[in-house]
């Protein structure tokens, strides 16, 4: 259990102070920068509120997708970059999408489209929920 107020509540408060109290005091040429900071705070607030479950669900789907297609050891390919499992699977998924790897197999193609759709919705819920609401995806 964390302290009160929670991180999302602190971000909301700081964002409100920025937009209602500080923005009017800033020169006009700094307003766009202040709004960009406020939008970043809103995204961080939503991420803190939602937690890791949406990303964990996508990671589970990627693991399932690739369970029958093990990846070669990156060290054998000369790659020395250490990646988290999630980043590595997302990177592989992006490369496979670009190369058309899912175009050949209907079951994998359908699963890849489903994962891509889930990933898109998760990202939009965090970065631009108004777009989803305006288009009937609330």
Q: Which helix (H) or strand (E) holds 50?
A: helix 31-50
pTM for the structure as a whole: 0.72
CA angle 101, 98, 118 (to 5 degrees): 85
Q: How far is CA 56 from the centre of its chain?
A: 11
As a whole-number percent, the residues of the chain with pLDDT over 70 amount to 87
CA distances from 41 to 15, 100, 126 (A): 6, 36, 11
Q: Locate tokens 């108004």: which residue? A: 130
131 vs 138, which has greater pLDDT? 131
125 and 106 Cβ atoms separated by less than 8 Å:
no
Q: Is the pLDDT assigned to residue 82 strictly greater than 90?
A: no
Q: Over the stretch 88-104, which tens digit does the pLDDT of each residue have? A: 899 999 999 999 988 87
What is the DSSP code string of 83-107?
--HHHHHHHHHHHHHHHTTTSS-HH
Task: Please give the average per-residue pLDDT across 61-86, as a whole number.
Answer: 64
Q: Which helix (H) or strand (E) holds 131?
A: helix 129-134
Q: How does the average pLDDT of the chain come out, rounded?
A: 86
Helix pair 31-50, 7-17: axis angle to 10 deg: 160
Q: What is the pLDDT of residue 37?
A: 98
């Amino acid at each position: 259990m964390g302290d009160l107020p929670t991180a999302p509540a602190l971000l909301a408060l700081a964002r409100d102070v920025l937009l209602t109290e500080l923005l009017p005091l800033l020169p006009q040429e700094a307003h766009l920068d202040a709004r960009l900071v406020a939008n970043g705070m809103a995204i961080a607030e939503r991420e803190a509120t939602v937690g890791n479950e949406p990303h964990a669900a996508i990671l589970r789907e990627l693991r399932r997708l690739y369970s029958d297609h093990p990846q070669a050891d990156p060290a054998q390919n000369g790659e020395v970059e250490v990646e988290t499992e999630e980043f590595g699977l997302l990177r592989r998924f992006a490369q496979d999408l670009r190369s058309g790897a899912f175009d050949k197999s209907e079951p994998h193609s359908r699963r890849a489209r489903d994962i891509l759709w889930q990933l898109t919705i998760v990202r939009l819920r965090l970065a631009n929920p108004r777009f989803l609401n305006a288009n009937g995806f609330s």
